[in-house]
Amino acid sequence: MDLAVEQNMLDQAQADAQSMTKAIAESKELEQLLKSPIVKADKKQAILKEIFVGKFSSLFEGFVLLLTKNGREAHLASVCEKFQKDVLHHKGIVEAHVVSAVALKDADKKNLVAKLSEQLGKEILLTESVDASVIGGLKLLVEGYELDNTISGKLRTLRNAMLS
């Protein structure tokens, strides 16, 4: 990451890491190749070069080859995911995830992002998922904290209180 910042290639390296993560997630064969102890490192390097030639920056290609050379290619997807999180942290962006019973309207999402940004003093990257089992309300996950204001969460709390 330091080298990417130094060379003013942080955004490109982040995009490359995202593409690599996606490629590994979408291809079981690639994932198996990277995890295979039978295939030698130089063979893996050759295959990776052939598959991804010209698709990544030279900085990222060098990084992937270094991981492979050091026998860490099985961890490539998780390293890329961690790198993306580190880039967001470096840029002062906080990831937040909201779960609701129905999809939120764009205006509601913008309002939620604005409130979170105001509270945390940082830019917010919001992801959303729909889960009908929450029945109603919202569950918000931010920086390891969870705020559960869902009907199912309140019912669970009430049940636990009655049992104790």
Per-domain boundaries in the chain: 2-88, 92-163
- The model's pLDDT over 70-104, given as tens digits with 9 standing for 90+, comes to 999 999 999 999 999 999 999 999 999 999 999 99
Of 28, 86, 22, the closest CA to residue 52 belongs to 22
Q: Which DSSP state fits 57?
A: -
CATH for 2-88, among 2.60.40, 3.30.70, 2.120.10, 1.10.520?
A: 1.10.520
Amino acid at 146: E
Instruction: Assess contact for 76 and 111: CB atoms under 8 A.
Output: no
Tell me which of 1.10.287, 3.40.30, 1.20.120, 1.10.3470 is the CATH number of domain 92-163: 3.40.30
Give the pLDDT of residue 79.
96
**Whole-structure pTM value:** 0.79
Query: Would the pLDDT of 53 be above 90?
Result: no
Q: Evaluate the CA torsion angle 79, 31, 73, 60 in order and state its sign.
A: negative
Kindly indicate the confidence band of residue 16, based on its pLDDT and cuts at 50, 70 and 90: very high
Summarised one tens digit per residue, pLDDT across range 54-74 is 899 999 999 998 999 899 999
Element (H, E) at 141: strand 137-142
Q: Compute the distance between CA of residue 134 and CA of residue 127 in angstroms, rounded to an integer.
A: 17
